[in-house]
Every structure is written in structure tokens, then in C-alpha cells.
């Protein structure tokens, strides 16, 4: 069995490839349908051992060049599912960051935003698909809480979707034509690593505290927005706010970056799980944000779309009424001047909770994607 990476160069080659992908028991991994194949678009095609020679000679006959991806060991990829429908270790994500920016040098740039307590790099990808002047930007961060694995999975999904569907999907094309997007897949790499190696339920970062028995600060309580009012001053608590606002290298790195780029960043989205909620500021106070009605309208539309397309129920509203979480990154970003600031809680609603099975990744990510696209388009509408 093999997975071939093929880039057709002429329309004729595209047609042949379309044909091949519907025969010989091959499975098309990328793009999602032969319909989306065009010249110069990379195609990933799974070819079972028994058809390999046939397919190979067909490609060679038409001068279609291909490379072999890693060999699969007899497992049907339709049960293994694609790369994006699996959870990945921190090393694999770093690898992916490297490959993605390397494979898309004009559109994707890796940016070092800072480092974690244990000195792991915090890498964001900057997606820049057009060079229209005076471009605004959107920031999406994932993995602030280590055990929320669907969150980094979504950041990877979003980047992959952007690269695959730019110029095919009207919405993402419009968004990427008008905005750059910064995507930080793992804001808390030390915590994330820890959930893979020691404790699947870890939430905080891995910095030591005054209490030798307790490690970690809740990074989403460490931002300077009504800091520690209603979070916990106790190091052993899961919602420990830290010794002072931005005491943690991870939250400070993000805050520094946003401060530096606040003139261009107009949207902030933080991805979490679970609960299925689309939230906006404030969580740290019952006071309403200046543009509360606008923000409400945006998440309402997003929730309605998700209901319509996926029959999934997402609650929406200002954080304080829906859950309450002071010192959060979205409140802080809002006060910095990023008036379109959100926290999205992804699937599910408690059935699997943090342990969302891989079979649900696609659905969860598509729902989140719908939310992101909807709010982004509304922001463009309002700011143009």
C-alpha cells in the first residue's frame, strides 16, 4: 500500500488523475473530492498494494510525476482517517509547523512568539494569502489548556482548510483576501506534552509555585483583566491565577505579541473545549461590552448556522452570563482595543468531555470553522 503525492501539471493530467482516483480501489485523501483537482494542486492518493503497479504504469505513461509518502502497513486508511482527524503529539505538531511553512513559503510563515516555562518554542503560523495593502489580521490561539486536545486539532484543521480551499470556497477566499491570520496551535506546550506523557487531565502550565507540592498556573486566568477576581490565588487550584498578571512566559509572550500588533489585529479568537459555547467579553464583569449587540449578533448567526448545517446546539452570549472566567485572554484583548474578541468552546457537552474520540474531530472542527468564518465575515462587513 502506498500514498502518492502527485502534482498534475496540465489539464490532461488532471483529467487522468480524476479518473484514477475513482478507480483501482484508490482513496482520495486530498483534495476531498476529484472536483477540486486542478493543475498545480497537490493530490494525495492512497493506492492499495494490489493496484499499485497498474496505477504506477498509468502515471508513468502520461509523464505524471509522483512521490511516495510513508508506506502504510496494510491498514485501510478509510478506517485510520486522515492526518487531521487524529490527535498529534507535540513533536508531530512541531514537525507539521515546519513542513507546512516549508511547503507553502509564500503563504505561510512560522513566527516565534516566545517560549514556555520549560523552554519550548511557541510557534505561530502567519497566513498571508494576498498582498493587498493595509491588511488587517485575525489571531486564533489553541491549546491554552493542556487537556483540551480538540483545540490544537482545530488550529491544524483551520490551516489545512485555508490552504486547501482558498479559491475554492467563497467564504475563506474572501476572508484570506482581506485579512492575514495568525494561528498559534499550542499556546501551552509544556502542559500539552504533560497530557501525553503523565496526566491526561492536566490543565495549567508547568511552572512551579510557592507551594512545592503544586505546579502550574491557569494561563487563561493570568491575563490582566480583572485579574484574580473570582479565580483562585491558591497554587494548588486548577484555576490558579498566578503570582501576578502575565507572570507566565506563555501568557506574556502572547500579550506582548498582541500589544506589538494591535494596530493590525482586529479579531481575537481563543479555542477551548468543552461545552459548545460561543462567547465574547466580558467574563470578568457583568458589565456589557461597548459593542455587545454587534458581538451578540455575530455569535448568534454563527450558532444558527451550526444548528442548520450540523444540527448541533451551541449556546452563545457574553461570558459572564454563560459561564464566568476572569483574567481571560479574550477580555484582555478586548480592553487592548481588539473589539472583536471571542472564546469558542468546542464539542462536546459532557458525554466524552475532554476525551472526544477521533471520529468526532471532523464534526467538531467543521462546526468551529463555521463559527470562525461567520464571525470573520461579519467583521469584514462591519469594518469596510
Partner 1 sequence: MATGELNPNHFPARRAAKVVQHYLNTRYGSPYRLFGLEEVLSATAEDVDDTGRRYHLQISAHEIISNRKQKCSAEVFFPRGEPTQPAEVKASCEELLQNTTAQEEALYQRYKGNHSLLSAQYIPDSQGNIEPDMMPFWHLSIAASSFIMLNESTENTLYNMAQVAQITQLETESDELKFDSLMLLHDMVSQEILHWKLLFTWSPAGGVKVQQMKQIPKPHH
Give the active site residue among 345, 351, 367, 381: 345
Phi, psi of 148 (to 5 degrees): -90, 70
Identify the residue among 175, 269, 356, 369 touching partner 1 (CB under 8 A).
Answer: 356
Q: Which lies closer to partner 1 via its Cβ, residue 139 or residue 194?
A: 194
- CA-CA distances (angstroms) from residue 292 to 159, 270, 295, 377? 29, 18, 5, 17
Other CB atoms within a 10 A radius of the CB of residue 354 amount to 17
Size of site (CB under 8 A) for partner 1: 38
Q: CB–CB of 354/147 below 8 Å?
A: yes
Check binding of 252 to partner 1 (CB under 8 A): no
* Distance between CA atoms of residues 251 and 243, nearest Å: 13
Q: Strand pairing of 43-47 and 27-30?
A: antiparallel
Check binding of 354 to partner 1 (CB under 8 A): yes
Give catalytic status of residue 345 as yes or no.
yes
| Phi-psi category of residue 41: left, alpha or beta, with phi > 0 → left and psi -120 to 50 → alpha | beta
Check binding of 310 to partner 1 (CB under 8 A): no
Check binding of 201 to partner 1 (CB under 8 A): yes
Q: Which lies closer to partner 1 via its Cβ, residue 121 or residue 230?
A: 230
Identify the residue among 358, 363, 366, 382 touching partner 1 (CB under 8 A).
Answer: 358
Q: How far is the CB of 118 from partner 1 (least distance, A)?
A: 14
- State the number of CA atoms in the 13 A half-sphere of 379 facing the CB: 26
* Distance between CA atoms of residues 266 and 174, nearest Å: 16
* Distance between CA atoms of residues 42 and 342, nearest Å: 34
Check binding of 239 to partner 1 (CB under 8 A): yes
Q: Which lies closer to partner 1 via its Cβ, residue 16 or residue 214?
A: 214
Check binding of 148 to partner 1 (CB under 8 A): no
Q: CB–CB of 236/211 below 8 Å?
A: yes
Q: CB–CB of 142/155 below 8 Å?
A: yes
Phi, psi of 192 (to 5 degrees): -60, -45
Q: Which lies closer to partner 1 via its Cβ, residue 176 or residue 219?
A: 219
Q: Which lies closer to partner 1 via its Cβ, residue 118 or residue 171?
A: 118
Identify the residue among 72, 243, 323, 362 touching partner 1 (CB under 8 A).
Answer: 323
Q: How far is the CB of 214 from partner 1 (least distance, A)?
A: 6
Q: How far is the CB of 320 from partner 1 (least distance, A)?
A: 9
* Distance between CA atoms of residues 256 and 260, nearest Å: 6
Identify the residue among 67, 105, 357, 381 touching partner 1 (CB under 8 A).
Answer: 357
Q: How far is the CB of 363 from partner 1 (least distance, A)?
A: 13
Report residue 133 as a C-alpha cell. 495593502
Name the residues annotated as catalytic. 345
Where on the chain is the footprint of partner 1 (CB under 8 A)?
87, 194-196, 198-203, 213-215, 218, 236-239, 275, 313, 315-317, 321-324, 349-358, 360
Amino acid at each position: 500500500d502506498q500514498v502518492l503525492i502527485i502534482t498534475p501539471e496540465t489539464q490532461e493530467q488532471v483529467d487522468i488523475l480524476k479518473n484514477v482516483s475513482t478507480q483501482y480501489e484508490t482513496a482520495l485523501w486530498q483534495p476531498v473530492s476529484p472536483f477540486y483537482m486542478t493543475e498545480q494542486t497537490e493530490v494525495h492518493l492512497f493506492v492499495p498494494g494490489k493496484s499499485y503497479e497498474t496505477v504506477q504504469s498509468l502515471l508513468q505513461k502520461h509523464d505524471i510525476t509522483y512521490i511516495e509518502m510513508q508506506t502504510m502497513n496494510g491498514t485501510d486508511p478509510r478506517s485510520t482517517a486522515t492526518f487531521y482527524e487524529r490527535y498529534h503529539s507535540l513533536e508531530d505538531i512541531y514537525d507539521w509547523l515546519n513542513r507546512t511553512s516549508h511547503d507553502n513559503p509564500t503563504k505561510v510563515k512560522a513566527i516565534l512568539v516566545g517560549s514556555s516555562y520549560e523552554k519550548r518554542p511557541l510557534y505561530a503560523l502567519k497566513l498571508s494569502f494576498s498582498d493587498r495593502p493595509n491588511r488587517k489580521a485575525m489571531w486564533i490561539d489553541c491549546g491554552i489548556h493542556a487537556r483540551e486536545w480538540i483545540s490544537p486539532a482545530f488550529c491544524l484543521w483551520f490551516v489545512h482548510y485555508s490552504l486547501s480551499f482558498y479559491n475554492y470556497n467563497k467564504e475563506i477566499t474572501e476572508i484570506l483576501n482581506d485579512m492575514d491570520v495568525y494561528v498559534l496551535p499550542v499556546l501551552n506546550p509544556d502542559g500539552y506534552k504533560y497530557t501525553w506523557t503523565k496526566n491526561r487531565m492536566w490543565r495549567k502550565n508547568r511552572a512551579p509555585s510557592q507551594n512545592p507540592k503544586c505546579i502550574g498556573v491557569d494561563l487563561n486566568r493570568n491575563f490582566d483583566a480583572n485579574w484574580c477576581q473570582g479565580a483562585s490565588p491558591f497554587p494548588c487550584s486548577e484555576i490558579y491565577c498566578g503570582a501576578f498578571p502575565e507572570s507566565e512566559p506563555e501568557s506574556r509572550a502572547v500579550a506582548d505579541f498582541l500589544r506589538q500588533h494591535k494596530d493590525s489585529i482586529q479579531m481575537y479568537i481563543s479555542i477551548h473545549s468543552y461545552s459548545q459555547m460561543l462567547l465574547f467579553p466580558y467574563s470578568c464583569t457583568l458589565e456589557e461590552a461597548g459593542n455587545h449587540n454587534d458581538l451578540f449578533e455575530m455569535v448568534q448567526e454563527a450558532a444558527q448556522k451550526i444548528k442548520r448545517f450540523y444540527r448541533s446546539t451551541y449556546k452563545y452570549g457574553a461570558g459572564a452570563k454563560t459561564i464566568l472566567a476572569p483574567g481571560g485572554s479574550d477580555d484582555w484583548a478586548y480592553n487592548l482595543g481588539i473589539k472583536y474578541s471571542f472564546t469558542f468552546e468546542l464539542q462536546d457537552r459532557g458525554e466524552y468531555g475532554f476525551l472526544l474520540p477521533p471520529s468526532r474531530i471532523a464534526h467538531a472542527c467543521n462546526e468551529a470553522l463555521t463559527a470562525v468564518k461567520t464571525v470573520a465575515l461579519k467583521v469584514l462587513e462591519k469594518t469596510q
